Structure 1
Amino acid sequence: MVLNTSKILEVGDWLLRQALAEKPPEVMLEALARKLNHVGIPIDRCRMAWSTLHPLFEAETVLWTADRGISTNRFPHQEEDTDEWLRSPIKWMLDHSETFMRARLEGHGPLPFDLYEELRADGYTDLIGLRTEMFTERSVLPLRADDLGLYVTWATRAPGGFHDTVVETLRQLQRYMALLCKLNIYPRLITSVADTYLGPTIAHEVLSGRIRLGSGSQVRALVWFSDLRDSTGLAEDLGEDRYLALLNDYFDCAGRAAVEAGGEILAFIGDAVLAIFPIREGETSESEASDRAVGAARAARAACQIVNRRREAAGEVPFEFGVAMCIGDVRLGNIGIRQRLSFSVIGPSVNEAERIEKETKRLGIPVLATDEVASCDPAQWQPIGRFTLRGTHHETALYSLRLDDAGAQSDRGSSASRNPSPRNEKASTVAMTGTMGSSSQG
């Protein structure tokens, strides 16, 4: 078989242009498969997989088939030891440090992997797998022991399978594909890590170049602040392991509810959760942000009741927490020194939310908010009076969220309420600081 060398070089040059244009892998892969068929390389299926840095997912994949087009998938971390993974050709290549493999699928003899059997049953005659490491120990993102690199498989239904010339051509194109994926995946990996540790809003600020001391921007938002009751006492009474388990149960109630409702967690401050629901003109109104935040508070309270029943059934102590909400302008910006910066959210609204949360404990009311929040949907709120918040010289009107039975438990029955001020739980926070705190496998 003779391939047009100039056409192959054109494909390689096209891949380089795609890399510079930062085209998504799924867009590139479908176009590449069609280009290869156009120059005489019979491709009926191709799949790309690469490792990612994500708290939920171990790897991402893009699959193209001639009859079904493009599909994408992510593989959770917990799936890495499934039978499917352990019996996959990717796992075999990693275990044996191989960068190339080939499977001729025609015939009726036994095949070593389930994937090969599936492909044979679907009419495929040949498959090759290629793996290229994209990072080294010197990279900003160094090579990990479980790093796939770029893993690509090509399959055909052509009688007799791939000609050896085609196999060699695909091996040469692998380097172009690895470069393209590295240029595309690097930013995605960095963005994923930044989103995980900083939250999308702060991550965008940092990655947009606001990295000088004092730089930042102002954002209007609903500030959502939650704090665990009697944390110091619980930590002393339970011991490290049991308290850590309780803390994670609490974060899973409060933090998860805020994120799933569309909020962004800016920081875990000890045992407190600071989140915002951004308000952007033309995108999210104050009323919409309030609806989401209220939904988060209700979900957090309901989850708390479920988790506490489970904890008590297991002989563990229950926990309680308060939630405070207010609306205002907050400033996102760098504080610290030039050699070590922390991107923080500061402003009167942040301080106000923290101080209102203290009132949830003193008054024994689980969820409190200001007039700006309550006025978005007055039917959900009950006015309880005007209060002078700690550190202020004016009165603030506060409203209690009307809770249904699932979330109506009052702090008055909790251990924190029975001992109103057993210990100084936490110093007042003036600036809240953001911390860097299934298809077949082949």
Structure 2
Amino acid sequence: MDSLVADMTPPPLAVEARTRVAPVIDWLLAERIGLAHSPELFGRFCDRFAQTGVPLDRATIHIPQLHPQLRARSMLWQRDSGEVSETNRAHGVETTGDYLESPVRRIFDGGHMIRRHIEVPDCPRDFPILEEIEQEGCTDYTIWPLPFSSGGLVNAISFASRRPGGLTALDLAMIEAVLPAFGAVMEMAHLRRTARTLLETYLGPTSGERVLSGAIKRGDGEVINAVLWYCDLRNFTELSETLPLDEVIALLNDYFEAMARPVKAAGGEILKFMGDAMLAIFPLAGLNPEGACTACCTGLAVAEQALVGFAAVNEKRAAAGKTPLRCGVALARGNVMYGNIGDVERLDFTVIGPAVNLATRLEDLTRDLALDPPVVFSAAIAANCGRQSRPLGRFKLKGIAQEQEAFTLA
């Protein structure tokens, strides 16, 4: 049964199949630009395809992902509800029994179309998913490779029917005839989604959206008012020279996760990780004075939350007999240039300006003054944060001409 339908489809049947699916293919080509959302595309395709007479009651699609957290995405369409549910598969799913015993694995490994005519007594029951499909009342199941043109990526798409007698030879020929067009359009939607995911991962949501919107030329950017949020890990050079590389990477990941999670939760934009430091912003564009005050207060609250997470990292390290880490957090507020900077062929979407310099230099005071908690912020933050702060005095900071006032949490 594991053979290509093309091998058993007479030419007249193939011609009829192409004729019947032609309206679906025309619709796919006409709507390919507007259908950028993969679940919507899959659901509407299944609805349209079922209208051609193919007795579809259930369909799934499985697409490997280029994603830091996900190995694959799966979508399930059910005719009864007309809805599509989406499931994210984390890295490591490829080692689980559910995957290893699935027909999806067979397809991903380069297999051809698989059909299991469930209502036939001698039908092989070699995949656990068949029991679930049979319990839903299905009589026939087939899964196909759905190749994409880029990188040799192979996906899997399955169809199941409740009709007594299952799928006919014409039904199978129609599936085979429509898949190339559907695969091409789904690939476009998938690539758009992948591009957005990668840009958000490496640039941040706002910067990624700006790039997708066309802000890609060197020098493209704008002046914005923002709260600058900066953190730095103490004695990292010493740690990196004395610890194994894999342990250094692990501690950096733990540290950055503790710092980044509350920043993202509060709507901040992480611009970059620089060795053992992290720079983020809370833009103030469009905010009234009260909103700006809230943003400054939010930045300080995020610093406190980050230090709670950082303390948890150190508790974990202490339990493992490892040296505790130390860090500092600094905040400043001011106008910065937010845009594309760099070489003509290698650009960075970032911020530059006096407020950035001030934040990075203020952070040194958390070490020099042995602050506990290790948080320091500028006069502009202190004046607008809506909470009590403790003045530390005026300081001459490296690279900044005028002395600067510094404050910490009261």
TM bin, normalised by shorter chain, reads 0.7 to 0.9
Residue in structure 2 matched with residue 115 of structure 1 by the alignment? 129
Report the CA distance shift for 1:239/1:123 in structure 2 as closer, same or farther (over 3 A).
closer
Please tell me whether residue 400 in structure 1 is matched to residue 408 in structure 2: yes
Q: Is 1:266–1:276's contact at 8 Å kept on the other side of the alignment?
A: yes
* SS of equivalent to 2:219: coil
Higher mean C-alpha deviation, range 311-320 or range 276-285 = 276-285
Higher mean C-alpha deviation, range 171-180 or range 326-335 = 326-335
TM-aligned CA deviation for residue 57 of structure 1: 0.8
Residue in structure 1 matched with residue 380 of structure 2 by the alignment? 372
Report the CA distance shift for 1:313/1:210 in structure 2 as closer, same or farther (over 3 A).
same
Residue in structure 1 matched with residue 334 of structure 2 by the alignment? 328
Q: Is 1:25–1:181's contact at 8 Å kept on the other side of the alignment?
A: yes
1:70 aligned to which of 84, 96, 109: 84
CA RMSD of aligned residues (A): 2.6
Please tell me whether residue 301 in structure 1 is matched to residue 307 in structure 2: yes
Q: Which has the higher contact order (CA 8 A, sep 6+)?
A: 1
Higher mean C-alpha deviation, range 190-199 or range 170-179 = 190-199
CA-to-aligned-CA distance 1:98-155 (integer Å, 9 cap, x gap)? 23111111156661111111100110111111112213xxx4xx33xxx4x3321111
1:200 aligned to which of 187, 196, 205: 205
TM-aligned CA deviation for residue 232 of structure 1: 2.2
2:271 aligned to which of 260, 266, 270: 266
So what's the TM-score if we normalise by structure 1? 0.81
Once residues 321 and 401 of structure 2 are traced to their aligned partners in structure 1, the CA distance between those partners, rounded to angstroms, is 45
Report the CA distance shift for 1:218/1:58 in structure 2 as closer, same or farther (over 3 A).
farther
Equivalent residue letter for 2:301: G
Report the CA distance shift for 1:127/1:235 in structure 2 as closer, same or farther (over 3 A).
same
**1:123-142 equivalences in 2 (<5 Å):** 123-135=137-149, 139=150, 142=151
Report the CA distance shift for 1:28/1:339 in structure 2 as closer, same or farther (over 3 A).
closer
Stretches of structure 1 lacking an aligned partner (at least 5 in a row)? 403-442
Once residues 83 and 65 of structure 1 are traced to their aligned partners in structure 2, the CA distance between those partners, rounded to angstroms, is 25
Q: Is 1:46–1:155's contact at 8 Å kept on the other side of the alignment?
A: yes
Please tell me whether residue 50 in structure 1 is matched to residue 63 in structure 2: yes
Stretches of structure 2 lacking an aligned partner (at least 5 in a row)? 1-12
Once residues 43 and 346 of structure 2 are traced to their aligned partners in structure 1, the CA distance between those partners, rounded to angstroms, is 44
| Residues paired across the two proteins, number | 392
Report the CA distance shift for 1:219/1:47 in structure 2 as closer, same or farther (over 3 A).
farther
CA-to-aligned-CA distance 1:320-372 (integer Å, 9 cap, x gap)? 10001122222123333323333332111111110111111112221112233
CA-to-aligned-CA distance 1:11-46 (integer Å, 9 cap, x gap)? 110011121323422222222222233332211111
Report the CA distance shift for 1:397/1:339 in structure 2 as closer, same or farther (over 3 A).
same
2:179 aligned to which of 174, 196, 199: 174
CA-to-aligned-CA distance 1:269-328 (integer Å, 9 cap, x gap)? 121111112233269942443344333212221122122122122121001100011222
TM-aligned CA deviation for residue 6 of structure 1: 5.1
TM-aligned CA deviation for residue 10 of structure 1: 1.1
Once residues 99 and 176 of structure 2 are traced to their aligned partners in structure 1, the CA distance between those partners, rounded to angstroms, is 24
TM-aligned CA deviation for residue 4 of structure 1: 8.6
Q: Is 1:4–1:39's contact at 8 Å kept on the other side of the alignment?
A: no
